[in-house]
Structure 1
């Protein structure tokens, strides 16, 4: 599938397919403002801080994250401006995007609290892996990590019976997760997640990587953009790292395609083992607000 094919597919399923009746959370106005500022030739840190400070809960979350053990500051951050200065504008934007995403999906938080923790860890792991590679946008990788599985809570919110499908999909060994989703609902979280990413005006590379993140045949498909293929492979490794941290046994996807992803990115298993130790304190410091 090339970029036009993916866009046509997403347009079709949103307008006439099974996804047309699913409520996709609209892009929050604060994120629209944030994206507009970041797209300026010279983004203003004070403008970013003002956007963050416009919501009390978001302000509190940002300061709490800035003061978490992950950043190990001697003096605590006490204002949004200090937090933005310490974190940097684009890392701040990534944190705010995650906050807005979690609060845009109206669902019992106790049902998906662990989901957001894992998503945050995946985001951290993808950013870490991207830093080790030449030419991979770290901020794109970090944001991608938040959105890869966002279709799951959206489907939980909008599709009757999906909670049962979710349990079945995690338990079955004879078919893949998205095959189980499609058998029950004629769509899957990769498609829904890609539509969320497009609705939220994220870069096309993110929407396409979300759409394809369970299709490892794209690693060898020159029609798919290289940066999309890199994100698909990075996400698989990141999910493996998160699973190891959380004590989850290797999923069938990693057992089947893990070595393929490592080879595609020219990463050794020894490197992955060192990342387990490097990422441990970061994973332990995860704060979900």
Structure 2
């Protein structure tokens, strides 16, 4: 993860681009669901160096369905040990604070952004897998926050369900984008709608006040030529590169073929992260149970 000469304030420029497109550009009519109050409280509780454990517990206990999700996760094969847990407190103790917060964030996001189309039937399952893989990869890399990585993994493709809800004809665009071989899915989205899911996803992250580096990484996650160059700040490139590796590991776990992004830029991602293919295969074995659980 070598630091390179940077394009000045690329992250700030992306935020300004999003704000401009929201005021009088193609994003004017995109409906962004409000950030759930409980998620805002959760992020505030987790932000300090010493997170507010009592506040996290209060948030967890405030919603019966979220409490049930935590208990189910704690009793799943990844964490199950001894007697089944029966309370939120027991679940939090078994999961640990970091994983508890991750499960809660994913639950609150799914409730806020509904997915009601067959083309996105596994959207939240795959988003959860990506987020877990990102957090795992972050622990293998120096200097990348697992929380930041998890957030990026969860939000990376959130523009898709938001566009499905707000943009007429987006379902047809998704079908067309998957069928065409003469241009990328992003190019098809822009041709049909003057925007794409990377831009819309970045807007969601901006409106929900996520970290600027996460906003930028979502915006740039298909602009993979930036890896190793001067197209973005180091942390943004690391998130994008790790996201590409996470997607690769997910596809292997699901028995799917490599996607075009990996075939064309996978080696650049590995070079940026200073890891090799053999190391990633070891990661795959370590991740298997976690992805099975997701």
Report the TM-score, using the length of structure 2 for normalisation: 0.92
2:51 alignment counterpart: 43
- Once the two structures are superposed, residues 188-239 of structure 1 have per-residue CA deviations (whole angstroms, 9 ceiling, x without a partner) of 1111111111222211111111111111122233362211110000000110
CA distance in 1, matches of 2:192, 2:108: 30
Q: Assess if the C-alpha contact under 8 Å between 2:186 and 2:197 holds in 1.
A: yes
Q: How far off its partner does 1:173 sit?
A: 1.7
RMSD over aligned CA atoms reads 1.6
1:90 alignment counterpart: 98
CA distance in 1, matches of 2:123, 2:257: 17
2:4 alignment counterpart: none
1:22 aligns with 2:30: yes
Alignment match of 1:202 (pick from 210, 213, 223): 210
Report the TM-score, using the length of structure 1 for normalisation: 0.94
Q: Assess if the C-alpha contact under 8 Å between 2:115 and 2:123 holds in 1.
A: no
1:69 alignment counterpart: 77
Structure 1: 4+ residue segments shifted above 4 A: none
Structure 1: unaligned runs, 5 residues or longer = none
CA distance in 1, matches of 2:119, 2:179: 18
Q: How far off its partner does 1:106 sit?
A: 3.1
1:152 aligns with 2:160: yes
1:264 aligns with 2:272: yes
Residues 214-223 or 145-154, more deviating? 214-223
Alignment match of 2:230 (pick from 222, 227, 252): 222
2:3 alignment counterpart: none
Query: What does 1:1-289 correspond to in 2, within 5 Å?
Result: 2-40=10-48, 42-108=50-116, 112-222=120-230, 224-286=232-294
CA distance in 1, matches of 2:29, 2:149: 30
Higher relative contact order (CA 8 A, sep 6+): 2
Count of paired positions = 286
